[in-house]
Amino acid sequence: MQYSKLGKSDLEISKIGFGCMSLSGNTKENEQIIEKAVELGINYFDTADLYEHGENEVKIGNLLKLKRDQVIIATKVGNQHRADGNGWDWNPKKEYILSAAEGSLKRLQTDYIDLYQLHGGTMEDPIDETIEAFEILKQQGKIRYYGISSIRPNVIREYVQRSGIVSVMMQYSLLDRRPEEESLELLQKNGIGVLGRGSIAQGLLVDKPAASYLNWSAEEVAHAAEIVHSITGRNSSSAQTAIRFVLQNQALNSAVMGIRTQAQLEDIAAAVNFPQLTVQEMDLLLRVSPAHYYLAHR
């Protein structure tokens, strides 16, 4: 496994992160896959209080409590479940964030959260109040660092200018290069780390039947998958190629992947062991999804 420092923090995170929302097996199966992930060098585990009404945090707390000194635990806040259990509402207010952090700490069975992320964000939020909540939690030692999970350039810019975020989690793949337009250069310039999600575009670049995706037609998606497959070597996989494309961007610290089986885990973790894609391979991939595509199709 390879590692990189997340922004201005002292968190050395694995180039492959584990997206915990995907864990769906029984307790024994989940124990085995987490054990194997740690064995393979994955140390970044990402969850959220929204997932499974908080039960995903409970699950991760149980699975990682004996490995706490070996792992980096990240969770998210901002989506408040309704009292009747019917959905949730966006709540970035200080009082709620401080209260929600206590719940996450308890469910995760830990005294501190390594990376606490705002799970979204809009320009209508009380941003200074939101930032104050994270700063208070940091001063109290309940979180080590904080970041946001957002694809919105205007929101990202506000937090870059006004807060002490160390990271931004955003969707980024061959089929979604929007971050290249306004965000990645800004974040890299300001020493803020990037956590990529959706690297294989919901499996469409790997093994799922072609379907429309964002502004792409099913035919365009099929063509992109064909190109990925065509440059994938005999001893590698399409998933590894898609992940290598993401990690080849120097702004990216980690590709956070949803992993359900040990076979998937071993395949994904091995992506970092291959050399970088060649200039010719990158040229083929970049022709599939020119960055200006999204500007032209908004």
Any idea which residues carry the catalytic annotation? 51
Our CA angle for 62, 42, 251, nearest 5°, is 125
Helix (H) or strand (E) holding 167: strand 167-171
Nearest to 92 by CA among 77, 73, 72: 77
Burial classification of residue 164, based on how many CB atoms lie within 10 Å of its CB (0-12 exposed, 13-18 middle, 19 or more buried): middle
- Tell me the DSSP string of 9-73: SS-EEESEEEEGGG--S-HHHHHHHHHHHHHTT--EEE--TTGGGGHHHHHHHHHHGGGGGG-EE
Assign residue 295 a region (left: φ > 0; alpha: ψ between -120 and 50; beta: otherwise): alpha
List all residues 6 or more positions away from 114 whose beta carbon is below 8 Å from its beta carbon.
11, 72, 73, 74, 143, 144, 145
Distances (CA, A) of 263 to 33, 191, 232, 267: 10, 35, 18, 6
Break the chain down into helix, strand, coil percent, rounded to 5: 45, 20, 35
List all residues 6 or more positions away from 210 whose beta carbon is below 8 Å from its beta carbon.
204, 218, 219, 221, 222, 225
CB atoms within 10 A of CB 57: 28
CB atoms within 10 A of CB 125: 18
